[in-house]
Amino acid sequence: MSRYPLRTWMLAGALLGSLGLGCTEPEEPFPTTEELEKLQSLHTPSRKPPADPTNKYGDDPLAAALGNKLFNDPGLSSCGTVSCKSCHEGESGTVSTPKSLGCNGAVTGRNPPSVLGSSYSTWFMWDGRADRLWNQALLPLFSPIEMASSPAILRNRLTTRYAEEYKSVFGKLPSEESNDEQLQANFGKAIAAYERTLNRNEAPFDQDVLRFLGAVQEGKAEKDPAWLGLKTFLRKGQCILCHKGAMLSDDQFHNIGVADASDSRRGVAAAANAMLTWTFNSSGPYSDAPAGLESGRLQRLVSDLQLKPSELEGAYKTPTLRNVELTGPYMHTGDVKTLEDVVELYDKGGDVAGSYVGTLSQSIAPLDLTDEEKAALVKLLKSMTGAPKQ
């Protein structure tokens, strides 16, 4: 039995610690078993998007062919000049400006995300105001600052241009569809079937992760060229907490402190209620999912709104990092120009307090990265660009 009570020992320990005399633990070799599992989760051999039970036409090639035409058709807009492609173009699936231009020169409030690989998500728009890929398509179609269309324009266009193709997918002519909302849902489902084909192939990143996993087995992890980048991504950067799995996204909402003075800066906190009561949401009458299948996901959002509202204030969807070199500028505002700037933003732990609403996610704090670590992160991000699909 010690002569001194436990408290005294604890006090002595704390003192030694504060004097820097306590044992500073040597850093554990990278990766630990737990980290190894996270690294393994980044690699998936199959690049096929997960099935979408809410869209029974999602993998129908005829629906995708119709969707391709609709995606590229400016005749669906009221001004006659804007299609989905106008803002989601070419090899990046987006535009290279911070914002994008809709009908009559209107400017969007946010940066358009890429449509490449969007079929891996279940939430859409930076603030999650659509909860499936097919219902997302209705928002830009009818938004006054995007395609500014109307149910009448859509009906007219489907009837005059796509009647037979529509019938081959949905079983009746658009003119035989008495319910406008059904027509709109079908439009979205054809577009989504096309978007499910938009992706790029494996990236150098995938090979690097595989090779690194091999090097770990051989005890040569530290010599691998990807070592510092992956280590920083997992450890000091904590990036893996949110950018995880094959798409490098947790498909959830977080506040990382991106400066935003716009009216819509509350993110998901402001958008969720309209989505939850929306006729076209994934639990509504136009969803093909069996009753109840999607409600758990929506219910979780409802309880998050009730139980931890401050976490959703100013929170946005974690974007995929795949092809991120092609999709700049970055963040929901499009105000962060380069990947170097992104890394600087994380390094200082988000923008200055007061430039965004809400409180930062717990894991966002100054990182104190060295120049070498910053460069390794940027290199890692740039390696995530997939080869074009043949």
Binding site for ligand HEC (CB under 6 A): 71, 82, 84, 86-88, 100-102, 108, 110, 112-113, 115, 118, 121, 124-127, 136-137, 140-141, 146-147, 191, 237-239, 241-243, 254, 256, 258, 316, 318-319, 321, 324, 327, 330-332, 339, 342-343, 346, 361, 363-364, 377, 381
Helices within 254-355 (DSSP H only) = 268-276, 295-307, 309-312, 339-347
Nearer to ligand HEC, 55 or 100 (CB): 100
Smallest distance from the beta carbon of 303 to ligand HEC, in angstroms? 20
Distance CA 330, CA 334 (A): 5
Sign of CA dihedral 175, 176, 180, 182: negative
* 40 phi/psi in degrees, rounded to 5: -65, -35
Looking at the DSSP assignment, which residues form a beta bridge with residue 130?
A: 124
Nearer to ligand HEC, 141 or 301 (CB): 141
Nearer to ligand HEC, 118 or 287 (CB): 118
Smallest distance from the beta carbon of 382 to ligand HEC, in angstroms? 10
Smallest distance from the beta carbon of 291 to ligand HEC, in angstroms? 26
Smallest distance from the beta carbon of 52 to ligand HEC, in angstroms? 13
Nearer to ligand HEC, 106 or 276 (CB): 106
Distance CA 167, CA 176 (A): 10
Strands (E) across 233-306 are located at 253-254
For residue 11, give every residue at least 6 positions away whose Cβ sits within 8 Å of its Cβ, in sequence order, or none.
none
Smallest distance from the beta carbon of 113 to ligand HEC, in angstroms? 4
Smallest distance from the beta carbon of 9 to ligand HEC, in angstroms? 37
Distance CA 324, CA 190 (A): 26
Nearer to ligand HEC, 169 or 258 (CB): 258
For residue 24, give every residue at least 6 positions away whose Cβ sits within 8 Å of its Cβ, in sequence order, or none.
none
Nearer to ligand HEC, 55 or 136 (CB): 136
